[in-house]
């Protein structure tokens, strides 16, 4: 469905600044309905990769194909239209509109698609109930907690049932219960509507929900591991790679593993 070939992002290089190769010749294929995790140390290029896959940033070089269309060849307006129709984003810093309540924020993709207001309300209220967001639902972002905002951002990313959800640390602000609820909601979307998910995470437990996990370091794919039947075994293998790569804080106690 989405295919990246030799995707490269180099920042800087002007005004005497040394160029920074944030993503270095990355190849990746994402299939419909697939759940892919991305892990790697801070500064390894995860967000840069995700922003290019989502057409928010153009690569310095390389190609990006979606169902036979080369996305980097599209005009900015065409790319914006592509994103609205096919993608959903969960950003590290939520990006909610302050003038709208959390509930109203989640309607935006459907407003842009010209959807009926009753559909927006029904769909968003059902998703909020599934994520335990009744409390903060009618609050403005400035009065909501980080976890409430994170869940509203996730609903907004999924409400239009996109082909691909690109999520940057979607559980970063959530406690383990809210985190499990969000990951289950993402899984439901995936199974019911065939949406694929690409999820950047520092949390090995969250990563173990994925079908495969890519490990990235210095903008390069180091290795990729696949889940088999046994999720605990997958978690153990993820932990092994994370600790072998270093640069990652491992809170084994917090994960209930020591
Ligand atoms: N807009 C930018 N301009 C210049 N350099 C940038 C820019 N964005 C990222 N970088 C650099 O590119 C590298 C990769 O950054 P990126 O944000 O993609 O890493 P990351 O893996 O998402 O890190 P984290 O886990 O901390 O979110 C870093 O060295 C960063 O400083
Ligand atoms: Mg990042």
pLDDT tens for 100-144 read 999 999 999 999 999 999 999 999 999 999 888 888 899 999 999
Count of domains in the chain? 1
- Whose Cα sits closest to atom 17 in ligand 1? 47
User: 146: pLDDT confidence band, cut at 50, 70 and 90?
Assistant: confident
pLDDT at 69 exceeding the cut of 60: yes
| Helices then strands, each counted (H, E), the chain | 9, 10
Sheet of strand 61-66: strand arrangement? 20-30, 2-11, 61-66, 69-70
Distance CA 23, CA 141 (A): 33
Q: What is the pLDDT of residue 35?
A: 97
Residue 86, in any domain of the structure:
yes
Residue 227, in any domain of the structure:
yes
Residue 98, in any domain of the structure:
yes
User: 173: pLDDT confidence band, cut at 50, 70 and 90?
Assistant: confident
- Whose Cα sits closest to atom 8 in ligand 1? 48
- Whose Cα sits closest to atom 12 in ligand 1? 22
Residue 54, in any domain of the structure:
yes
Q: Which residues contact 76 (CB under 8 A, 6 or more apart)?
A: none
Q: Which of 116, 185, 110 is nearest to 154 (CA)?
A: 185
- Rounded to 5 degrees, what angle do the CA atoms 193, 187, 131 make? 105
Residue 122 structure tokens: 């029904």
Locate the ligand 1 atom nearest the alpha carbon of residue 216 and give its number.
21
Query: How many angstroms is it from 204 CA to the middle of ligand 1?
Result: 21
Q: Is ligand 1 within 6 A of the CB of residue 29?
A: no
User: 217: pLDDT confidence band, cut at 50, 70 and 90?
Assistant: very high
Residue 156, in any domain of the structure:
yes
CATH of the domain at 179: 3.40.50.300
pLDDT at 76 exceeding the cut of 90: yes
Place of tokens 């109203």: 104
pLDDT at 248 exceeding the cut of 70: no
Q: What is the pLDDT of residue 175?
A: 86
Helix (H) or strand (E) segment spanning residue 53: helix 46-53
Locate the ligand 1 atom nearest the alpha carbon of residue 40 and give its number.
21
- Taken as a whole, the chain contains a residue count of 258
Q: Are the CB atoms for 88 and 164 separated by under 8 Å?
A: yes
Q: Is ligand 1 within 6 A of the CB of residue 11?
A: yes
Instruction: Summarize the confidence of residues 153-175 as an average pLDDT.
Output: 93
Residue 253, in any domain of the structure:
no
What range defines the domain where residue 35 resides? Answer: 29-58+72-245
Query: How many angstroms is it from 112 CA to the middle of ligand 1?
Result: 30
Q: What is the pLDDT of residue 92?
A: 80
The ligand minimizing its distance to the Cα of 52 is 1
Q: Is ligand 1 within 6 A of the CB of residue 82?
A: no
Place of tokens 């949406």: 195
Residue 251, in any domain of the structure:
no
Distance CA 189, CA 182 (A): 11
Residue 197, in any domain of the structure:
yes
pLDDT at 247 exceeding the cut of 60: no
User: 94: pLDDT confidence band, cut at 50, 70 and 90?
Assistant: confident
Over the chain, what is the mean pLDDT?
A: 91
Query: How many angstroms is it from 253 CA to the middle of ligand 2?
Result: 24
């Amino acid at each position: 469905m989405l295919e990246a070939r030799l995707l490269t992002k180099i920042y800087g290089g002007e005004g005497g600044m040394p160029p920074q190769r944030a993503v270095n010749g990355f190849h990746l294929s994402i299939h419909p309905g697939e759940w892919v995790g991305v892990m790697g140390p801070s500064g390894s290029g995860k967000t840069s990769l995700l922003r290019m896959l989502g057409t928010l940033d153009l690569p310095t070089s390389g190609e990006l194909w979606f169902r036979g269309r080369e996305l980097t060849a599209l005009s900015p307006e065409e790319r914006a239209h592509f994103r609205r129709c096919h993608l959903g984003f969960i950003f590290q810093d939520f990006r909610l509109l302050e003038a709208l309540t959390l509930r109203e924020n989640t309607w935006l993709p459907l407003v842009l698609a010209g959807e009926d207001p009753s559909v927006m309300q029904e769909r968003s209220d059902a998703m909020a109930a599934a994520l335990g967001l009744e409390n903060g639902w009618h609050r403005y972002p400035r009065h909501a907690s980080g976890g409430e905002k994170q869940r509203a951002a996730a609903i907004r990313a999924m409400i239009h049932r996109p082909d691909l959800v690109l999520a940057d640390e979607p559980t970063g602000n959530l406690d383990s219960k809210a985190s499990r609820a969000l990951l289950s909601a993402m899984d439901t979307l995936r199974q019911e509507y065939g949406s694929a998910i690409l999820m950047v995470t520092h949390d090995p437990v969250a990563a173990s929900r994925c079908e495969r996990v890519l490990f990235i370091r210095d903008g390069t794919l180091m290795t990729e591991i696949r889940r088999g039947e046994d999720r605990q075994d997958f978690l153990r293998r993820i932990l092994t790679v994370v600790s072998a790569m270093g640069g990652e804080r491992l809170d084994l106690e917090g994960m209930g593993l020591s």
